[in-house]
């Protein structure tokens, strides 16, 4: 914002845009308006208090403030704080705050189903593909507010043009679906399972699966879910203890068994982080985006949220996640592991005990090591779906030629109600096996799957 203020042209003919999140007000409930809610909190003082601390003291203070103001995590807390700081500091600068909800794959542009990494709802889909999620909180009847990525881009561009040059104006705009086209979590999960059925994802070899099928089970009883979740936590603690003991006697076996245990531990962490958003419901008003859409129709920048068809979108999302994210990442990791194995020395330079400690310590966020062996085996996954505020971007894929698209005669003429073809009606040579099945490479390891999904 300070940089934008230094250019006079931004005031007269430009606009400062801040991308926030619709869940910046997740400490509230019910209908969320497109505005900055007034409060008696001194946001400048809160910000200065956070700035004067460092290290553990900073983390402790941030956690205390987050809990005090009722936010489920630091991501929504910092977005909320940033919005109010912008509101008090923007002066005469035209300012636009964009609040997207949970962003998913594209609906039309550049084509339906494109996505780069499993985040938000995509994390549930990706982990569900390997049977990681067996039980979810609530009855699934709460609205799961998701929005295609191209709608967020279109809204941001069109609203920026609309706001340009409005000196001193501050606008807040939601880009969400719960107001105009609501869909429940249970319906989204049902359509995701249908997408995996359509792609026959169950042909993934069972030894790579946490459970044999992609199943989402909703637990409507809060006390029963809490009990089952606590039992899962206790079982994982016991499993970790047993794996550690086995690793002392049988290092190779202990290392192999530790991988699915770590996978399930991360599953529990994801469930804890998503619990607040799955069990609660908000209606994010979208009057401004609807007004913008009705003012001028532009097919290149769609804003017709009410016309989104969730079933084909979910099916496209499943295929896009597999095609553009999961499988390419698994293939790259497998190739890297083969190269490392090829160039590895015949005799290890470290003892068995060192290897065991390295494998155990690798999952500790506070552990570091200068060992060459540890460096070569560091997890190189796409992203960490457990925290939306992660600053670690997914690994960029190497450049590769565009895949050849062939039409599927059996699906010719079929498509979505808006005229766009279903992604699942196309075959991509080089990324699918015979029968249009999204299969994993036969030599993909459990560790590769763990890194790709976590």
pLDDT digits 0-9 by tens, 405-439: 333 434 344 455 555 555 544 433 333 333 333 33
- Is residue 363 in some structural domain? no
Rounded distance between C-alpha atoms, residue 430 and residue 140, angstroms? 37
pLDDT average, residue stretch 258-269 = 81
Q: Which of 21, 14, 276 has its CA nearest to residue 147? A: 21
Q: Residue 69 above 70 pLDDT?
A: yes
Lowest mean pLDDT among 109-123, 137-151, 159-173, 394-408: 394-408
Rounded distance between C-alpha atoms, residue 364 and residue 361, angstroms? 5
- Is residue 432 in some structural domain? yes
Give the distance, in angstroms, between the CA of residue 155 and the centroid of all CA atoms in the same chain. Answer: 20
Token pair 């199943």 in the structure block, residue = 215
Output the pLDDT for position 416: 59
Q: Model confidence at 6, in pLDDT bands (50, 70, 90)?
A: low
Q: Which residues pair with 136 in a beta bridge?
A: 218
- Is residue 369 in some structural domain? no
pTM of the prediction?
0.72
Task: Name which residue leads in pLDDT, 393 or 418.
Answer: 418
Torsion of CA 254, 255, 256, 260, to 10 degrees: 100
Give the distance, in angstroms, between the CA of residue 325 and the centroid of all CA atoms in the same chain. Answer: 12
Task: Name which residue leads in pLDDT, 384 or 135.
Answer: 135
- Is residue 400 in some structural domain? yes
**3 state SS of 173:** strand
Residues 6+ apart with CB under 8 A from 85: 43, 44, 47
Helix residue ranges, H only, 280-379: 287-295, 310-321, 327-343, 352-361, 372-376
pLDDT in tens, 336-360: 878 887 876 655 544 444 444 444 4
Output the pLDDT for position 373: 34
Output the pLDDT for position 312: 93
pLDDT average, residue stretch 291-302 = 85
Q: Model confidence at 177, in pLDDT bands (50, 70, 90)?
A: very high
Task: Name which residue leads in pLDDT, 270 or 314.
Answer: 314
- Is residue 372 in some structural domain? no
Residue numbers of the domain that contains 37 = 2-341+379-453
- Is residue 247 in some structural domain? yes
Output the pLDDT for position 354: 41
pLDDT average, residue stretch 375-392 = 36
pLDDT average, residue stretch 365-379 = 35
Output the pLDDT for position 137: 83
The percent of residues above 90 in pLDDT, for the chain, comes to 31
- Structural domains in the chain (count): 1
Output the pLDDT for position 196: 80
Q: Which of 105, 122, 92, 104 has its CA nearest to residue 12? A: 92
End-to-end CA distance of the chain: give it in Å, rounded.
34
Output the pLDDT for position 387: 43
Strands 16-19 and 426-428: unpaired
Output the pLDDT for position 385: 33
- Is residue 114 in some structural domain? yes
pLDDT average, residue stretch 175-199 = 89
- Is residue 371 in some structural domain? no
pLDDT average, residue stretch 63-76 = 92
| Cβ atoms within 10 Å of 103's Cβ, excluding its own | 22
Q: How many residues does the chain have?
A: 454
Cβ atoms of 330 and 452 closer than 8 Å: yes
Q: How many CA atoms lie within 13 A of 161 on its CB side?
A: 8
42's tokens: 């001194």
The two most distant CA atoms of the chain are separated, in Å, by 72
Output the pLDDT for position 423: 53
Question: What does pLDDT average to over the chain?
Answer: 75
């Amino acid at each position: 914002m300070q940089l934008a203020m230094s250019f006079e042209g931004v005031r007269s003919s430009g606009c400062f845009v801040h991308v926030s999140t619709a869940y910046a007000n997740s400490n509230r409930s019910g209908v969320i308006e497109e505005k900055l809610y007034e409060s008696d909190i001194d946001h400048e003082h809160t910000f200065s208090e956070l700035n004067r601390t460092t290290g553990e003291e900073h983390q402790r203070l941030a956690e205390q403030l987050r809990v005090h103001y009722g936010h489920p995590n630091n991501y929504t807390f910092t977005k909320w704080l940033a919005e109010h700081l912008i509101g008090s500091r923007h002066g005469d600068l035209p300012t636009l705050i964009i609040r997207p909800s949970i962003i998913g794959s594209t609906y039309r542009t550049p084509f339906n189903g494109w996505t780069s990494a499993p985040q938000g709802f995509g994390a549930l889909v990706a982990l569900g593909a390997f049977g990681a999620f067996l039980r979810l909180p609530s009855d699934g009847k709460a609205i799961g507010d998701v929005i295609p990525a191209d709608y967020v881009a279109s809204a941001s561009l069109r609203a920026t043009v609309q706001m340009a040059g409005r000196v001193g104006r501050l606008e807040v705009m939601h880009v969400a679906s719960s107001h105009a086209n609501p869909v429940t979590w249970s319906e989204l999960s049902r359509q995701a399972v249908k997408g995996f059925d359509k792609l026959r994802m169950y042909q993934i070899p069972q030894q790579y699966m946490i459970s044999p099928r992609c199943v989402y089970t909703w637990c409507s009883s809060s006390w029963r879910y809490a009990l089952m979740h606590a039992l899962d936590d206790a079982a994982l603690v016991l499993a970790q203890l047993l794996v550690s003991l086995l690793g002392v006697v049988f290092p190779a076996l202990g290392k192999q068994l530790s991988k699915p245990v770590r996978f399930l531990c991360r599953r529990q962490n994801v469930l804890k982080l998503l619990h607040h958003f799955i069990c609660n419901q908000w209606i994010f008003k979208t009057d401004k985006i609807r007004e913008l859409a009705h003012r001028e129709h532009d097919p290149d920048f769609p804003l017709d949220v009410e016309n989104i068809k969730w079933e084909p979108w979910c099916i496209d999302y499943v295929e896009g996640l597999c095609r553009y994210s999961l499988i390419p990442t698994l293939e790259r990791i497998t190739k890297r592991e083969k190269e490392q194995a090829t160039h590895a020395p015949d005799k290890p330079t470290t003892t068995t005990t060192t290897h065991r400690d390295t494998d155990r310590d690798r999952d500790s966020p506070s552990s570091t090591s200068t060992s060459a062996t540890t460096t070569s085996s560091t997890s190189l996954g796409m992203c960490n779906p457990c925290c939306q505020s992660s600053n670690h971007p997914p690994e960029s894929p190497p450049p590769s030629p565009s895949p050849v698209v062939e039409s599927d005669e059996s699906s010719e003429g079929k498509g979505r109600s808006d005229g766009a073809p279903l992604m699942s009606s196309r075959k991509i040579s080089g990324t699918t096996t015979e029968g249009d099945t999204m299969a994993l490479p036969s030599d993909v390891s459990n560790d590769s799957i763990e890194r790709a999904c976590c």
